């Protein structure tokens, strides 16, 4: 495993951006090792030109940004090659899985822009065949029922340096194994009484090959098969067979499964040799999972964030889930651009959050219409502007796309401007309003500030100015008057109030919970620790037990300013925005009408991302 690059280096590291050209035109995607393998297989005719991949989520939680990388990779490779990608729910653990998660997972894959057509499958679709194959393994002398306790199995497994020791049940006669396995299936034994193990090699240097368990007893009802089964197949056994039954060609998974590949091959090779499966068999390939700074991506931690109410649910816009991303206003196209930009490799590294945010900015810049919002309103009075007059100023909906037209912003005597666009004593380099200073009202006139009213406590309550009628934007000679400042505004007579939620990064440091949360991360990247199933032990060791060493409490690194809700003024046109419409609020950032809470008479906008990255300066301490 490689040492992790510091985030600022990671920003520059992997494959160069290739998804879109300067004006968003698609360009040829960069090659990567998986594209090269598939091209070679197509050339050699290994699979007769077929490319069939699969995305195999376990329906025990919501998808996160890391899954997006896997989805885009699997569906993308298939699409590029005229192939197909299956959506397969890997539902081998009856206790933790649910239809609620399945629906959300399918919805998120669709949201990212992918379609599995009729190829929606479940590992549980194969329970009968998996069981038949298990009996075949028993009959071939390649599997046995082990009646040791889970502790005994674990203790005899050996270590990375010492071989395992054989179970006293390893040489049970075939007939006895078959009888016991059938009685396991019939429900004669309690949980944990026996496991079915493959008979491979207790001395193998690869621990996964030391007689892995493939079936365990679990008297639990399954969300799809109900109470039909009380034995359930384990992941490593199920996954490769499911792939083979679906005629998957390229089975792409994350690096932690590298050491499981010999077992993957062993199972399906044996079945093919025995005439149980057709060749050509699928081939497993591993790529580096997404590790992203400023978030956590392990299911266990995401669950904790929700359960302990650090966020407002799974779809909280700060959550790195795909349902959260959607409410945040992130776009599927932005995710695809991101996936292309970070590329795929075989070495673990960290990707800085700014890369994902930049991809969203880039996509939103092209697609979001511009609107005005005043987030921290201060009254501006144009003293020489007629009181009952409204003058239509025209603002382009998109500065680079004139075909999108313009909209009217009525200029009136009283306006809202941003509070920080006025300074009684301007700091050095401040080009906005201060007594005597001139600025342009965006799409309107040049004004000169004449002073401000204050309340009894000395707070500024209104700014006064005069305008110069010869300087209207877009009229001849108007631009002759050079002013450095340009401020946005809304007529106080027709701006509407909106709830605006200013979201920011969920964590305040790049590596939440790390001993050095700002720098190089010690230890394994999150989640790269052991895979979800501890197959040798004969029962599941939950991921929580197998997870990375805790360095500090990652919850201490939550960003206290990750959500601020304000009342703001927005253009009246925004009242008609549909949920999920996205805009650039000029000078502020990209915003989206909230999927859940926005509606007629109740405008609610979420900040997706600011216009510029304010975090890289913090990270580098400049």
Question: Which contacts of 186-189 are long-range, i.e. CB under 8 A and separated by 24 or more positions?
Answer: 187/219, 187/230, 189/217
Which of ligand ATP, Mg ion, none is residue 407 near (CB under 5 to 8 Å by kind)?
Answer: none
Query: How is 221-263 classified by DSSP, letter by letter?
Result: -BTTTBTS-SEEE-HHHHHHHHHHHTT-SEEEEEGGGGGGHHH
Residue 254 sits in the site that holds ligand ATP (CB under 6 A): yes
Residue 70 sits in the site that holds ligand ATP (CB under 6 A): yes
**Least distance CB 174 / Mg ion (angstroms):** 34
Which of Mg ion, ligand ATP, none is residue 218 near (CB under 5 to 8 Å by kind)?
Answer: none
Of 501 and 532, CB closest to Mg ion: 532
CA dist 472 and 445 (Å) reads 5
Of 216 and 532, CB closest to Mg ion: 532
What 3 state SS string does 161-176 have?
Answer: CCCCCCCCCCCCCHHH
Which of ligand ATP, Mg ion, none is residue 521 near (CB under 5 to 8 Å by kind)?
Answer: none
Q: Find the catalytic residue in 299, 472, 501, 532.
A: 299
Residues with Cβ < 8 Å from 482, sequence gap 6 or more?
none
Of 79 and 408, CB closest to ligand ATP: 79
Compute how many residues bind ligand ATP; rule: CB under 6 A: 17
Tokens of 362: 């880039």
**Least distance CB 585 / Mg ion (angstroms):** 39
Query: How is 596-615 classified by DSSP, letter by letter?
Result: TT-BTTB-EEEEEEESS--H
CA dist 220 and 229 (Å) reads 8
Known active-site residue 612:
no
Q: Which of 14, 57, 233, 513 binds ligand ATP (CB under 6 A)?
A: 57
Burial class (CB in 10 A: 0-12, 13-18, 19+), 119: middle
In 3D, which of 380, 334, 332 has the Cα closest to residue 355? 334
Known active-site residue 346:
no
CA distances from 600 to 498, 576, 579, 584 (A): 11, 7, 10, 20
**Least distance CB 213 / ligand ATP (angstroms):** 19
Binding mask 406-435 for ligand ATP (x = CB under 6 A): ------------------------------
Residues from 296 through 325 that contact ligand ATP (CB under 6 A): 297-299
Q: Give the position of tokens 């305040």.
A: 508
> Rounded to the nearest 5°, which phi and psi values hold at 542?
-65, 150
Stretch that binds ligand ATP, among 63-71, 199-207, 461-469, 579-587 (CB under 6 A): 63-71
Residues from 516 through 545 that contact Mg ion (CB under 5 A): 532
Residue 289 sits in the site that holds ligand ATP (CB under 6 A): yes
**Least distance CB 80 / Mg ion (angstroms):** 26
Which of Mg ion, ligand ATP, none is residue 298 near (CB under 5 to 8 Å by kind)?
Answer: ligand ATP
User: Which alpha helices (H) appear in 112-162, and where do they start and end?
Assistant: 127-139, 150-155
Asked if 553 and 513 count as a contact pair (C-beta separation under 8 A), the reply is yes
Known active-site residue 58:
yes
Stretch that binds ligand ATP, among 10-18, 62-70, 112-120, 273-281 (CB under 6 A): 62-70
Residue 534 sits in the site that holds ligand ATP (CB under 6 A): no
Residue 488 sits in the site that holds ligand ATP (CB under 6 A): no
CA dist 395 and 576 (Å) reads 18
**Least distance CB 547 / Mg ion (angstroms):** 11
Q: Find the catalytic residue in 50, 54, 58, 571.
A: 58
Residue 290 sits in the site that holds ligand ATP (CB under 6 A): yes
Tokens of 506: 């969920």
CA dist 615 and 611 (Å) reads 12
Q: Which of 50, 67, 199, 216 binds ligand ATP (CB under 6 A)?
A: 67
Of 58 and 125, CB closest to ligand ATP: 58
**Residues engaged in binding Mg ion (CB under 5 A):** 532
Q: Which residues are the active-site residues? A: 58, 289, 299
**Residues engaged in binding ligand ATP (CB under 6 A):** 56-58, 66-67, 69-70, 253-254, 289-290, 297-299, 527, 532, 543
């Amino acid at each position: 495993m490689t040492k992790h690059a510091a985030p600022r280096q990671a920003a520059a590291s992997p494959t160069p951006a290739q998804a879109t050209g300067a004006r968003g035109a698609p360009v040829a995607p960069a090659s990567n090792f998986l594209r090269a393998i598939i091209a070679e297989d197509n050339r050699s005719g290994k699979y007769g030109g077929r490319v069939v991949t699969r995305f195999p989520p376990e329906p025990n939680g919501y998808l996160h940004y890391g899954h997006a990388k896997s989805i885009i990779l699997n569906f993308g490779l298939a699409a590029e090659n005229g192939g197909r990608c299956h959506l397969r729910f890997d539902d081998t653990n009856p206790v933790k899985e649910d239809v609620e998660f399945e629906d959300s997972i399918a919805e998120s894959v669709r949201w990212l822009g992918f379609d599995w057509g009729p190829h929606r499958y479940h590992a549980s679709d194969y329970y009968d065949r998996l069981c038949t194959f298990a009996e075949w393994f028993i009959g071939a002398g390649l599997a046995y029922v082990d009646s040791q306790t889970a502790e005994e199995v674990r203790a005899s497994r050996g270590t990375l340096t010492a071989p395992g020791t054989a179970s006293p049940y390893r040489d049970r006669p075939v007939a006895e194994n078959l009888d016991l396995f059938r009685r396991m299936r019939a429900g004669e034994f309690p949980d944990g009484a026996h496991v079915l193990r493959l008979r491979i090699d207790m001395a193998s240097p690869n621990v996964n090959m030391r007689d892995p368990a493939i079936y365990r007893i679990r008297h639990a009802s399954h969300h799809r098969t109900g109470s039909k089964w009380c034995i359930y197949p384990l992941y490593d056994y199920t996954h490769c067979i499911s792939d083979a039954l679906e005629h998957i060609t390229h089975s792409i998974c994350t690096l932690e499964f590298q050491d499981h590949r010999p077992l993957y091959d062993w199972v399906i090779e044996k079945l093919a040799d025995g005439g149980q499966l057709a060749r050509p068999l699928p081939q497993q390939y591993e790529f580096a999972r997404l590790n992203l700074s400023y978030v956590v991506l392990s299911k266990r931690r995401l669950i904790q964030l929700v359960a302990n109410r650090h966020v407002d649910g799974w779809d909280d816009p700060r959550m790195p889930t795909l349902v959260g991303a959607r409410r945040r206003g992130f776009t599927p196209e932005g995710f695809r651009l991101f996936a292309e930009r970070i590329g795929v490799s075989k070495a673990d590294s960290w990707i800085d959050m700014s890369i994902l945010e930049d991809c969203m900015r880039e996509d939103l810049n092209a697609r979001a219409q511009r609107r005005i919002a005043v987030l921290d309103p201060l009254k501006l009075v144009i003293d020489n502007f007629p009181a009952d007059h409204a003058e239509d100023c025209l603002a382009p909906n998109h500065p680079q796309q004139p075909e999108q037209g313009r909209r009217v912003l009525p200029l009136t005597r009283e306006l809202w401007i941003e509070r920080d666009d006025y300074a009684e004593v301007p700091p050095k380099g401040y080009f906005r309003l201060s007594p005597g200073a001139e600025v342009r009202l965006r799409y309107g006139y040049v004004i000169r500030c004449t002073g401000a009213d204050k309340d009894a406590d000395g707070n500024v309550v209104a700014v006064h100015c005069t305008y110069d009628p010869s300087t209207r934007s877009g009229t001849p000679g108007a631009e002759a008057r050079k002013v450095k400042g340009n401020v946005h505004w809304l007529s106080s007579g027709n701006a509407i109030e909106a709830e605006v939620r200013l979201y920011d990064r969920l964590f305040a440091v790049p590596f939440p919970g790390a001993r050095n949360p700002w720098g190089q991360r010690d230890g394994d990247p999150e989640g790269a620790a052991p895979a979800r199933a501890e197959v040798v032990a004969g029962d599941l060791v939950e991921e929580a037990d197998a997870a990375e060493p805790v360095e500090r409490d990652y919850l201490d690194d939550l960003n206290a300013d990750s959500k601020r809700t304000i009342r703001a003024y927005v253009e009246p046109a925004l009242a008609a925005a549909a949920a999920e419409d996205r805009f650039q609020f000029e000078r502020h950032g990209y915003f989206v009408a909230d999927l859940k809470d926005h509606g007629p008479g109740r405008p609610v906008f979420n900040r997706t991302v600011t216009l510029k990255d304010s975090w890289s300066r913090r990270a580098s301490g400049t």
